[in-house]
Amino acid sequence: MSRDSEIDNPDDNYDDGRFEHEDSGQDQGVHGDGVSSKGGSILDALKALVSFFTIIKLNVDEEGIRSANKNLYLAPVIGAFIGILALIVTIVAMGMLNYGAGVVIEDVWGDPKIVKGGLGTLFMTALGIVGGAITIASIFIITKFLHFDGLADFGDGMVVSGDKEDHVRALKDTHIGAGGIGLALIVTLLAVALYSGSSLLFATAFIIVGTEIFVKNAMVSAASFGVPGNGMAGDQVRLTNGSSLMKSTLISIVLASVLALILGSMGYIITDVSIFGGRSLLWLILSLILSAVTSIGVGALMARMANKNFGFVNGDVLGATNEIARVAILFMISFAWVISQL
């Protein structure tokens, strides 16, 4: 199979792993380069990563693939792109839903304002849950369920009893078992619940886009601490080290900070209320710090579990890291909001 076909069919290659891996110079932990670092430009890497991580298909050559493997630290940029697309879908869908709901309420009760008290709370809660479901569904579709598939496979691989060969066999089995279904269901429902907690537009925008930035940093963290397997993900893990993680974390923080600045400026222009002060600013700062630390921690923990149970970190593990990190980061952003209001 050519490298070009790997980009065309990432699901066939990204979850590739093996029990006996090539010696990268270290058994585990943050590793150095074990293969040739020859590759294309940063633009080639971004192009390949967009084609690989999203439903958008671009013409990617072998140089671009090598560059993407070498420069996985650019993944948070793709996370920002995915988050922006998901945010647009969520805003449009919720705008239509709110308008439609208002029309129905007016037809039934004669006045939308009648929905208040307990009924109003129930109505707004239901809308929030629907909004959370729309957000996570749009992310899954934009990313072609690539990471969700890895999450299910990881769940199967972790719950099976036996030695490493048994864990790897379950990880790579094409049939999804109870462990995979259970883990995927729990993680998805938690994500929907955490997304539905915010009703403020600019806070929601920061949460959606910022979270997607940092979940990609978690993937880089897992790759930097992981033992490489084979396939495309194996090259990514082999070529990702401590320096890559530092670059990725810095990029994530800068992107999230710029996002907060843009959203804050837009909010001030539209509502004449600044978020750059008091509790809102404290929430943003805490969210940035906790998201960065959590993304690194989740990635390192996932890599440690994968190294122990499978003997390597492959595409399934990186995908599972993406999904599990999302829940952890959303929780930390919510926790930051609670702390900022004390």
- pLDDT tens-digit profile of 51-68? 999 999 999 998 999 999
Q: Identify which of 7, 86, 16, 83 has the alpha carbon closest to the alpha carbon of residue 47.
A: 7
26 falls within a domain: no
Which tens digits make up the pLDDT trace of 292-322?
Answer: 999 999 999 999 999 999 999 999 999 999 9
Amino acid at 164: K
Q: In which domain, by residue range, is 309 found?
A: 33-340
- 230-248 pLDDT, tens digit each: 766 999 999 999 999 999 9
On whether residue 169 sits in a domain, the answer given is yes
Say what the pTM is: 0.84
Q: Residue 15: inside a domain, yes or no?
A: no
**What SS3 class is residue 228?**
strand
**Is 17 a member of any domain?**
no
The answer to whether 314 and 168 have CB atoms below 8 angstroms apart is: no
Phi, psi of 228 (to 5 degrees): -75, 145
- Classify residue 21: in a domain, yes or no: no
Tokens for 36? 């040739």
> Residue 163 domain-assigned?
yes
Within a domain: residue 24? Answer: no
Mean pLDDT of the chain: 84
pLDDT of residue 120: 57
Q: How many domains does the chain have?
A: 1
3-state secondary structure of 155: helix
Note whether residue 27 is domain-resident.
Answer: no
Exposure pattern of 38-54 as b/e (b: 16+ CB <10 Å)? ebbeeebbbbbbbbbbb
Model confidence pLDDT, tens digit, residues 170-216? 998 888 899 999 999 999 999 999 998 776 778 899 999 999 999 99
